[in-house]
Chain A
């Protein structure tokens, strides 16, 4: 999966499941202030990402996410880790 494909999939989850307006989806967008997501959304976004990408986002990492780019980066790294583990 390319970075672009991953970003597109994350964005689709946020648009379809969490009513985020597509034109707000910029990497630097604040999850709370710009996208209007709250703590309840946060819990479900973590589970939605985990189901979509087959990874596990630890609670501390999830709590540290502030921007959309934080989600992209975390998911990309966790997916890459999975790939590495799959090879070993």
Chain B
């Protein structure tokens, strides 16, 4: 065996072998894929928010999800995002064909993105104020009101004995979680990581975000309110749910004959380093995309699709378009699935990998609905407005968050045919 072959056998890759999600556009993979292809929106007007004096009552709404299917004992420690994540994880594990016994080794972990659990925190404070003591809060609330509620619950229920933590990085939480899970597999520290992102949808969790004045107020047309990149965009629409991906070391996945959706092949991260917490500069986004491509050892012209972060805010979309135009020009098809789902915030970076994997599975690119034209100042990029048949070979998924945190993931959907000779050594990050 040659030296190169020796090294090749050492290359570890993170294969996606299972998917599961609870979203405002569907709770099964087929429902979600169908919505993505049809350009179906999950955005509604929430009467509770109207009553509570929200500037915008628009939100993505989860329907058909029944938490009572989770046992009362488990529910005592699980708040909304943990319930969604548990359901998504069960779906993803079943999709991957993994049983509980497969998860009990020390080389299996759980890493999710989540950045708030507001409602249980509000409830425990209300109880304390009303009762004048903490006694009636009970024993479950503390486990419901921590950001790590998702991973602490999943870790225990699934009997995971390896990595177990939550990544909090605003609207890039889910993407950083997937990236970190991939790194743990690639480095050899874990063989299987149950990863993803979760986001609560209760109105309590969105009061401060609403106060920021960045939500769309197009309440007369809920389904047309989220319009990333469009000249008439007036803000984002909050949304949520949970998305779960089973990442598994490629050799292990192949050995057990698992279905392989694709490979999480490259991860890039960068911070803007700017003072304004809510105004991206684009510099970090650009560096994250370049880093992800370098990490994947792939070229920009190998990307068949970009799932943009674009949330439908005037500044954010413009800055991302600029970064995409600088790196990819006008050639690569771009869409923001947030045009249908709204902004799934902490979950978005994971759900958008899942959406892209479903597109690759079914051979299409999802449209950026509600898009008519770029505004005059916006750099030219190729925003696709209808579903396009496509045998996707590779894609880039962007996620950016408050504080200037940026993540980009390169997804490889042709691991069997990709230039494996180039994989002789683990790819090295290039400094920018």
Residues from chain A with Cβ under 8 Å of B72 in the complex: 16-19
Are B139's CB and A43's CB within 8 A? yes
In the docked arrangement, what's the CA distance between A18 and B140, Å?
12
Hey, what's the 0/1 contact readout for B395-414 against A, CB within 8 Å counting as 1?
Answer: 00000000000000000000
Are A19's CB and B139's CB within 8 A? no
User: In chain B, what residue has the closest Cβ to A17?
Assistant: B72
User: In chain B, what residue has the closest Cβ to A42?
Assistant: B139
B209 part of interface (Cβ distance < 8 Å)? no
B138 part of interface (Cβ distance < 8 Å)? yes
Are A40's CB and B71's CB within 8 A? no
A32 part of interface (Cβ distance < 8 Å)? no
Hey, what's the 0/1 contact readout for B126-142 against A, CB within 8 Å counting as 1?
Answer: 00000000011011100
In the docked arrangement, what's the CA distance between A39 and B77, Å?
13
Residues from chain A with Cβ under 8 Å of B139 in the complex: 39-44, 47
Residues from chain B with Cβ under 8 Å of A40 in the complex: 76-77, 139-140
Residues from chain B with Cβ under 8 Å of A42 in the complex: 139
Residues from chain A with Cβ under 8 Å of B140 in the complex: 40, 44
Interface residues of chain A: helix, strand, loop or mixed (majority): helix
Are A44's CB and B71's CB within 8 A? no
Residues from chain A with Cβ under 8 Å of B77 in the complex: 40
In the docked arrangement, what's the CA distance between A63 and B195, Å?
39
Range, interface on chain A: 10 to 19
User: In chain B, what residue has the closest Cβ to A20?
Assistant: B73
In the docked arrangement, what's the CA distance between A16 and B73, Å?
9
**Interface set, chain A 52-82, CB cutoff 8 A to B:** none
Count, chain B residues at interface, CB 8 A: 10
Query: B227 CB to closest chain A CB, in angstroms?
Result: 46
Are B71's CB and A19's CB within 8 A? yes
In the docked arrangement, what's the CA distance between A39 and B135, Å?
15
In the docked arrangement, what's the CA distance between A71 and B135, Å?
18
Residues from chain B with Cβ under 8 Å of A41 in the complex: 73, 139
Hey, what's the 0/1 contact readout for A35-53 against B, CB within 8 Å counting as 1?
Answer: 0000111111001001000
Residues from chain A with Cβ under 8 Å of B135 in the complex: 47
User: In chain A, what residue has the closest Cβ to B142?
Assistant: A40
Are A47's CB and B73's CB within 8 A? no
Are B71's CB and A47's CB within 8 A? no
Residues from chain B with Cβ under 8 Å of A19 in the complex: 71-73
Are A43's CB and B73's CB within 8 A? no
**Interface set, chain B 300-316, CB cutoff 8 A to A:** none
Query: A42 CB to closest chain B CB, in angstroms?
Result: 7
Residue contacts A-B, CB under 8 angstroms, 26 given: A16-B72, A17-B72, A17-B73, A17-B76, A18-B73, A19-B71, A19-B72, A19-B73, A39-B139, A40-B76, A40-B77, A40-B139, A40-B140, A41-B73, A41-B139, A42-B139, A43-B138, A43-B139, A44-B76, A44-B138, A44-B139, A44-B140, A47-B135, A47-B136, A47-B139, A50-B136
- Chain B positions within 8 Å of A, measured between CB atoms, are 71-73, 76-77, 135-136, 138-140
**Contacts A18-B73, A41-B73, A44-B139 supplied; 8 other A-B pairs, CB < 8 Å:** A16-B72, A18-B72, A40-B76, A41-B139, A44-B76, A44-B138, A44-B140, A47-B138
